[in-house]
Structure 1
Amino acid sequence: MNAQPYTPALARPRRVMVLGLAALSTGFACVEMHRLLAAHGTTVPELFVLGLFAVCFAWIALSFWSGVAGFIQLVANQRVPGLRWPTEEEAAQPLTRRTAVVMPVYNEDPAAVFAHVQATYESIAATGQLDAFDFYVLSDSTRAESWVAEELAWSELCRRVGGQGRIFYRRRSDNTAKKAGNLAEFCERWGRRYDFLLVLDADSLMAGDSVVKMARLMELNPGAGILQVPPQNVGRSTLFARLQQFAGRVYGPIVAAGAAAWQLGDSNYWGHNAILRMAPFIEHCGLPVLPGQQPFGGHILSHDFVEAALMRRAGYTVWLVPELGGSYEQPPPDLLAYAQRDRRWCQGNLQHLGLVMAGGLHPMSRMHFLMGVMSYVASPLWLIFLVAGLFAALHEWFFAPATLVEFQSTLPGGDAFDTVGALRLMALSLALLWIPRLMGLGLLLANREEATRMGGRFKLVLSVMLEGVVSTLMAPVMMLFQSHFVFGTLFGYKVNWSSQQREDTDLPWSEALRRHKWHMVMGGVLAALTVAVAPGMLAWLSPVIVGLWLAPAISVFTSRASLGLWLQRKGLLLIPEEAEPPAVLVRAQELAEEEMEPVDDALDHVLTDPRAHALHLALLESHPAASVPAALASARRKLLAGGVEPLSPQEKSAVLLDARTLSELRGRRLGVQA
């Protein structure tokens, strides 16, 4: 047990160490870069390149030293100070506070959603602490078929586990502010009944003992406002997803432990697989509507960072607790689905620029906002850095009093170029990127049992090499995607809120070529400019150029589940959760594979199936009349005319919201059948 209270003095030396070493590393790298650029004097474009390099290098230096802190934390095998952990006697006691487990959903696969709810519910029940928890599925689904299927799946779940009065389902017809608004409405209606709020995503899955430990820690630490448990990617078969799962298992612990080690009680919240203290969340974490129009104004998309900042401003601590484990989610199945999710996150994080200077925020909260922005802005900065480097070379060519031969001698590979210094700087940059990977690999190689569950030490090393090569090739593609997202947001492009793709599907070549054609063009232009201006830089830029040229092939082949499963059979890219899957994962998979009653036409299903009709009307108590009367009137005209003209999705939803129309239509159908 660590009962040392959290104070700023506890975190100060850790932050000085991490941030100070990151600053020193950046300073050294900038001195080296300036020496390389200033061999024949420094031009304005070269100063611009140096400034970009400083910002970009500082970002990777901070990530590196945070990883080093995580490695030391894991080797020491000690918990971070500041949280009080339960004694054995306390851990055996019943929980005294109540927790609401909420899962917001939006047009998801109901079979998968309720399989995860049931597996988590049963896992908590197995701990003997179920009386302290209630479950809520909060639907924002707009597709009528998803809506009706959710109702039937909820009813079946309650029947199977005896969850009446403990598992609740609510769909709201007005999904203002998306997930954040969904949670806010829940807190307004039912939040005061509970002490804590455990937030899950539609693909979240949590082991019961981890959930109970989270609630226990909240009971023992009244100053804690949020406890975030990092989720592990599991459950997908495509090569892209398996790469994500493997990378998260090898490097994820280093990253999470590092963040926890120097951020301590001023950590961040990622929006799911976390527990929050209900009273301060309701009182202090209401989200503002930003002034102006989207993309920077309006409702906040990335609500989690803001809620963590508001919780910290209210005086409550926010903790990242990676040692708890038992927290799972599913990765996107392919590169394009990953980019689609990143598009929304990018706009949400860039909105935080308007909140950095908000009054009363903790300095670490401001830093989290800036780090979130930098996680996307880094890509266009690297892109501008590459382009600016070529422009600086062109500037030297056109404006410096030198012949072409003399000019090329100053470029990489030329006689006057400091090749050793450049290689030293390049080696430093690569080291900062790769050493955290190697530290994660080293920890696994030192643990024989863990290495065995990941295919053995030899195949584990091969898997790290494979993941590193593919990630290197995908990096320039993501750099251009994220650059497009950032520039699109700056120029006013609004993101569309859509449900995430979660199923494994092979990506067609036509779609890959359509989405990546400009990436290939960019690779060709970059290669041509490099050959024309600075051929000695071609080897340096080859990973970027090759990655862009191969973008369609990378997307297509990494989307293949057959390739991912083949590598699994060969013992590559394995994670321990596959060799010895936890009980909650096994149960969720079993439940997801069970057949579920199909809902091909939501309205027809409600009108023809007596159980679906009765259930739907019972759940419409909070919607006595449709909220879209024009669509309802139009639908009634079509239906009363014999139903020859099909209903639009809006009309179908309007009918499903109106109990009187549903009862009338049901009665007419029964009369016709009689």
Structure 2
Amino acid sequence: MHAHSFSPESAGIRRLFVLGLAAVSTLVGTWEMHRLLSARGTTVPEGVLLVLFALCFGWIALSFWTAVAGFLQLAVSKRLPGLRWPTEEESATRLTSRTSVVMPVHNEDPASVFANVQATYESVEATGQLDAFDFYILSDSTRPEAWIAEELAWADLCRRVGGQGRIFYRRRTDNTGKKAGNLQDFCERWGRHYDFTIVLDADSLMDGRTLVTMARLMELNPRAGILQAPPLNVGRSTLFARLQQFAGRVYGPVVAAGAAAWQLGESNYWGHNAIIRTEAFIQHCGLPVLPGQQPFGGHILSHDFVEAALMRRAGYTVWLVTELGGSFEQPPPSLLDYAQRDRRWCQGNLQHLSLVAAGGLHPISRGHFLMGVMSYAASPLWLLFLMSGLIAGLYDGWLSFSNPHLLEDLGPEALAFDTTGAVRLFSVSMAMLFAPKCFGLLLALASSQDSALMGGRVRLMLSVVLESVLATLMAPVMMLFQSHFVFGTLLGYKVTWSSQQRDDADLPWAEATRRHAVHTTVGVVLAAVAFFLSPGLLLWLSPVVAGLLLSIPLSVFTSRASLGLWLERRGLLVIPEETEPPRVLERAQEVAEEHALEPVKDAVDHVISDAKAHALHLALLESQPSPAAVPMALASARRKLLGDNVEPLSPPEKTAVLMDAPTLTEARERRLTLAVS
């Protein structure tokens, strides 16, 4: 099958517009930078500076022209060519396909996970198309307490919605391949029963109408392999989360529509809130284990980009469908949580460097790998650009100091630095950087409904200013975090995959001080060097210096839910999904509050003492045969559990007991006997 045969005719023109203009802008910007630097002849540090500038400016230019394409796409509001949408008659018919909705979880809070599953399930039921869908909670949880809590939450959910035989739960005993391995295991066991699979994340929530539309689009477009519904950040109260939610709602659509407008059927996949063609996925998207050691070898961490590239290589299209809506997730609650998540993604994206040259890939798929790498490499490049600028300044100063006659030899024009040219280049760079925000604001202001739901036009503009100021201050902190992650990965540090912090929690001052001490120190050094070179330079660098010097209080205050809620009451950083929440969001909130779960303090004790938990756990063990427990762990656990003086079990011992039905039965009978006597 010819891998290039499914793009609409306009693809070439669209790509020429975005990529061509990005390339021309980069050449012009780099030439202007060269002219500014070469007034006195180019030194080695200045040569390095020029290369770094070209890379950084190219990245800004690509983002800018993508945003322009998105703005134009949203302004004319026409559907993208290439996907066949259902007619009104087709929308009214029954789905003929079968779709599985899968949610991989790993040591998550079961109350919010199952509230989201219930809200999504009921929303699908309300469409009248529930018969076409089955739901799977695929647990990779390693904590015994999380495991037992999930089982109880699943049983409660099935009882509440009558979901027996339609909502399934299974826990994997072997965590090979993390989330990608979890999905692979699902595909091998149950995938063949379904035409399509909708993949969710542990914090995903989707409107039933969106799920039905996604399945319908897959039915109507037999060459579509993956359709991605861009998720919107919702449901958090901290100031940091509210900044993410607001930015995602106002500027996000411009960027997403722009990417979709030039990538068309060669778009990317983000690993969740998307539908995949199951058979094609099983056949073509098996992930290789990369040769060599971690961080570059081993299991692929960012599996989604690779799966999209493999799906495209097999001749199927991959679409980012920005019109879908009804797709939600939660943002990280604080800057440090955001950075922790970024660290994992950074290593995953850098792994893709070894796949860029893989055989048979579509050029745009290779581009996605490079863009994924650049999304992290941009930070160390900016850092090196700043440092080489300072070094070039010091070097020039040293040359002038060591050779006082140098400037006389060069003539008066060498002394005249083109300040106007420098200001012009800086202004153009800033304008390109802030353009997506302006486009998003213009579109929101143009919609009287949207702006009314975001506190009115004045508050909306104030919110954009507030978000822009705080984002500018946090940017240098993220630059240092990401630079640390990139250099750390290159030096061979491994990333541990832990569950994410999803709840609002105030960051303690001590923790912020420990994590941001380096950033503050860098800010002090940078300010001192810049001032030593020229007070004017310090003024240029003031946003970077201010962000680094304020990193500790910034991190603490943006982690506060009280601050976020205070702003919300004043109509700032508000999104329409808060003012008029969609039914599925309200329902998830109601379920989470109505059916708060008692925490499982000790998994083994709970299964032994609680009759319902005991019967349920044994039934699940029987229906999903797991490998035998580790003999040594089981033997020491039995000695502690069934001996005369009961000792606390270690986590591996708890797991061993929970995998062994005879031990659990024996322990329960023993406890009941003791209770009677």
Say if 1:294 and 1:492, in contact at 8 Å, map to a contact too.
yes
Aligned counterpart in structure 2 of residue 658 of structure 1, from 645, 655, 660: 660
Aligned to 1:496: 496
Aligned to 2:73: 73
Secondary structure of 1:39's counterpart equals helix
Aligned to 1:345: 345
- 1:658 Cα deviation from its structure 2 partner: 0.7
Task: Give the alignment of 1:227-376 within 5 angstroms.
Answer: 227-376=227-376
Aligned to 1:170: 170
Hey, what's the Cα distance between the residues in 1 that align with 2:176 and 2:491? 24
TM-score for both structures, normalised by structure 1: 0.97
What code does the residue aligned with 2:674 have?
Answer: V
Aligned to 1:569: 569
Hey, what's the Cα distance between the residues in 1 that align with 2:244 and 2:403? 50
Aligned to 1:425: 425
Say if 2:407 and 2:415, in contact at 8 Å, map to a contact too.
no
Aligned to 2:602: 601
Task: Give the alignment of 1:250-649 within 5 angstroms.
Answer: 250-399=250-399, 416-594=416-594, 595-621=596-622, 622-623=624-625, 626-649=628-651
TM-score for both structures, normalised by structure 2: 0.97
Hey, what's the Cα distance between the residues in 1 that align with 2:59 and 2:79? 26
Aligned to 2:214: 214
Hey, what's the Cα distance between the residues in 2 that align with 1:100 and 1:160? 20
Say if 1:266 and 1:364, in contact at 8 Å, map to a contact too.
yes
Hey, what's the Cα distance between the residues in 2 that align with 1:139 and 1:435? 42
Hey, what's the Cα distance between the residues in 2 that align with 1:643 and 1:177? 40
Say if 1:203 and 1:329, in contact at 8 Å, map to a contact too.
yes
Cα deviations by residue, 1:310-359 (Å, 9 ceiling, x for unpaired): 00000000000010100000000000000000000000000000100000
Hey, what's the Cα distance between the residues in 1 that align with 2:369 and 2:494? 20
Secondary structure of 1:600's counterpart equals coil
- Quickly say closer, same or farther: Cα 1:632–1:210, change in 2 above 3 A: same
- 1:638 Cα deviation from its structure 2 partner: 1.6
- 1:615 Cα deviation from its structure 2 partner: 0.2
- Quickly say closer, same or farther: Cα 1:282–1:449, change in 2 above 3 A: same
Secondary structure of 2:361's counterpart equals coil
Query: What is the percentage of aligned positions where both structures have the same residue?
Result: 71
Say if 1:229 and 1:321, in contact at 8 Å, map to a contact too.
yes
* More divergent stretch after superposition (662-671 vs 581-590): 662-671
Aligned to 1:7: 7
Unaligned runs of 5+ in 1: none
Say if 1:281 and 1:311, in contact at 8 Å, map to a contact too.
yes
Q: Does 1:32 align with 2:32?
A: yes
Secondary structure of 1:323's counterpart equals coil
* More divergent stretch after superposition (467-476 vs 529-538): 529-538
Hey, what's the Cα distance between the residues in 2 that align with 1:405 and 1:263? 56
Hey, what's the Cα distance between the residues in 2 that align with 1:316 and 1:134? 24
Hey, what's the Cα distance between the residues in 2 that align with 1:407 and 1:334? 51
- Quickly say closer, same or farther: Cα 1:667–1:166, change in 2 above 3 A: same
- Quickly say closer, same or farther: Cα 1:406–1:471, change in 2 above 3 A: farther
Hey, what's the Cα distance between the residues in 2 that align with 1:68 and 1:624? 53
Say if 2:8 and 2:81, in contact at 8 Å, map to a contact too.
no
Cα deviations by residue, 1:250-301 (Å, 9 ceiling, x for unpaired): 0011011000000000000000000000001000000000001111110010
- Quickly say closer, same or farther: Cα 1:194–1:290, change in 2 above 3 A: same
Unaligned runs of 5+ in 2: none
What code does the residue aligned with 1:254 have?
Answer: V
RMSD (Å), alpha carbons: 1.5
* More divergent stretch after superposition (127-136 vs 638-647): 638-647
> After TM superposition, where is structure 1 displaced by more than 6 Å over at least 4 residues in a row?
401-408
Say if 2:400 and 2:406, in contact at 8 Å, map to a contact too.
no
- 1:670 Cα deviation from its structure 2 partner: 1.1
Secondary structure of 2:541's counterpart equals helix
Hey, what's the Cα distance between the residues in 2 that align with 1:401 and 1:545? 27
Hey, what's the Cα distance between the residues in 2 that align with 1:8 and 1:88? 24
Hey, what's the Cα distance between the residues in 2 that align with 1:624 and 1:175? 13
What code does the residue aligned with 2:639 have?
Answer: R
Secondary structure of 1:501's counterpart equals coil
Hey, what's the Cα distance between the residues in 2 that align with 1:441 and 1:292? 47
Hey, what's the Cα distance between the residues in 2 that align with 1:20 and 1:356? 21
Secondary structure of 2:225's counterpart equals strand
What code does the residue aligned with 1:632 have?
Answer: L
Secondary structure of 2:516's counterpart equals helix
- 1:402 Cα deviation from its structure 2 partner: 6.9
- 1:407 Cα deviation from its structure 2 partner: 7.7
Cα deviations by residue, 1:20-76 (Å, 9 ceiling, x for unpaired): 110111111111111110010011211110000000000010000000000000000
What code does the residue aligned with 1:610 have?
Answer: A
